[in-house]
Structure 1
Amino acid sequence: MDTLSAGSFGPLESAGPVLVWIVVLTFVFLECAIILGLFLPGDSMLVTAGVVLATHDSGTQHTWALSVGAMGAAIAGNQVGYVIGRRSGHRLIARRGGKYLNAANLHKVNVLLDRHGFWAVAVARWIPWIRTLCPMVAGAANMDHRRYTIASSIGAVVWAPVLLLIGFYCGSLLEQVPWLMPAAIAVMVSLLAVGTALGIWGYRREMARPAESVTVDDV
């Protein structure tokens, strides 16, 4: 599961594109930069944002512009995650018995980077928990920073616009059925709010578990 607060999404439909921008850029950055991102509903948030923007007159321009902004937030978040990992000195902190932040998952990401390197970083963008752990593991494993930056940027350039545009064009189709659009947005926003609330709860539970140090190998 991919936090601001659950209440951030309630007024999305009527608050206009500004709130959508704030929520999207914040979620995308956090999901790519820090452990909290493991519990944020990033993919569904981007699709929902696209649907909401479809209800506004300037939705097309905002969607394309937000796609560029989301790319930038993802790239910046990846750099922060990489630096955090690099400063850990090959040792990352996992949670014993954790759902996502456990030694097994960190090892899987390390092996993935070791075997596939550049392409693992690019494709990791599409796998929720891996896209959060990958930058930190890459940094801790001393992956070449230039190769990492290029690969993670390629992933960001594809990921954010695709999901936003899927949401926007689905929303455009829904607008052709006037009674369906409000119901669809209400359901999507409600699910996103519940998912975010559960994510906060899951994050708190995960971080309350005993910590254990995991050594990451060079890639």
Structure 2
Amino acid sequence: MTLAASDLGPFETVGPVVVWILVLTFVFLECAFIIGLFLPGDSMLLTAGMVLAGHSAGVMHVWTLSAGAAAAAIAGNQVGYVIGHRSGHHLAARRDGRYFNTANLHKVNALLDRHGFWSVLIARWIPWVRTLCPLVAGAARMNHRRYTVASSLGALAWAPVLLLLGFYAGEFLERVPWLMPAVLGVMVTALVVGTILGVRQYRQELAKPTEDYEVE
């Protein structure tokens, strides 16, 4: 069963191309740069899957987008690693920062030191660790091949799972005509508000003074 355009309401104008652009952008930024600490990446993937459930070619799009999102995450991981590697053993944290602070960097550093490969793999499912892990791994000079294998496996499990979860949840919600637009409305609203607040908090974080953290 596929939703009719009239059932989708305002979401009928959200084409797959827009979903692709948003998902690939969010996933890459969250895995590559500090701004990813403040972006609702998990919510974006779930919402994108639900939106695609309402399109006639949704199955094709969600599976191909799953591959694309995994590739974007893998690429983002590599960019984050290179940034950390080029910073040497020193990362500039933010004094009194909410996420990008010395305490969180130390937690990620200790996690990598104790568990290495497995910590990179599991970090994919912890939002703020997901962004900091590539930077710390690069600064700590973690073996690049081991890092690439672990981060790639994590990316292959993370993005496709959330997209497909949202998609098949959306198909289930289609059984109740009014429920799908209502749930999508709430999720899209939360996503937009979360992104706006996240960007605002990111700017506030960058405005705070820096403090040096030495990666072991």
TM range (shorter): over 0.9
Q: Which piece of structure 1 moves more, 11-20 or 154-163? A: 11-20
The residue aligned with 2:191 is 192
Match of 1:90 in 2: 89
TM-score scaled by length of structure 2: 0.94
1:29-44 → structure 2 map (5 Å cutoff): 29-44=28-43
Amino acid at match of 2:212: S
| Superposition misfits of 4+ residues, deviation over 2 angstroms | none
Match of 1:166 in 2: 165
Query: What residue number does 1:7 align with?
Result: none
**What RMSD in Å do the two structures reach over aligned CA positions?**
0.8
1:62 aligns with: 61
The SS at the match of 1:24 is helix
Cα pair 1:13 1:52 within 8 Å, conserved: no
Contact 1:85 1:137 in 2 (8 A): yes
* Partner SS, residue 89 of structure 1: coil
Give the alignment of 1:1-219 within 5 angstroms: 13-217=12-216
SS class of match (2:116): helix
2:5: which partner in 1? Answer: none
CA displacement, residues 35-76 of structure 1 (integer Å, 9 cap, x when unaligned): 000000000100000000000000011000000000000000
Structure 1: give runs of 5+ residues left out of the alignment.
Answer: 1-10
CA separation in 2, counterparts of 1:121 and 1:107? 15
Distance in 1, matches of 2:98 and 2:128, equals 10
Please tell me whether the aligned partners of residues 12 and 20 of structure 1 are also in contact (alpha carbons under 8 angstroms). no
CA-to-partner distance for each residue in 1:83-119, whole Å, 9 max, x for gaps?
A: 0000001000100000000001001100000000000
What number of residue pairs does the alignment pair up? Answer: 207
CA contact (8 A) 1:12 1:19 kept: no
> Contact between 1:47 and 1:163, CA under 8 Å: does it hold in 2?
yes
Instruction: Tell me the distance in 2 between the aligned counterparts of 1:127 and 1:137.
Output: 15
| Partner-residue secondary structure (3-state), 1:214 | strand
* Whole-angstrom CA distance in 2 between matches of 1:164 and 1:201: 26
For the residues of structure 1 that align with 2:196 and 2:11, how far apart are their CA atoms?
Answer: 17
Identity of aligned pairs, percent? 71
SS in 2 for 1:76: helix
Structure 2 vs 1, CA of residues 202 and 54 (structure 1 numbering), >3 Å: closer, same or farther?
same
Distance in 2, matches of 1:138 and 1:51, equals 34
Shift, 1:13, TM fit: 4.5
SS at match of 1:93: strand
- C-alpha distance in 1 between matches for 2:121 and 2:166: 22
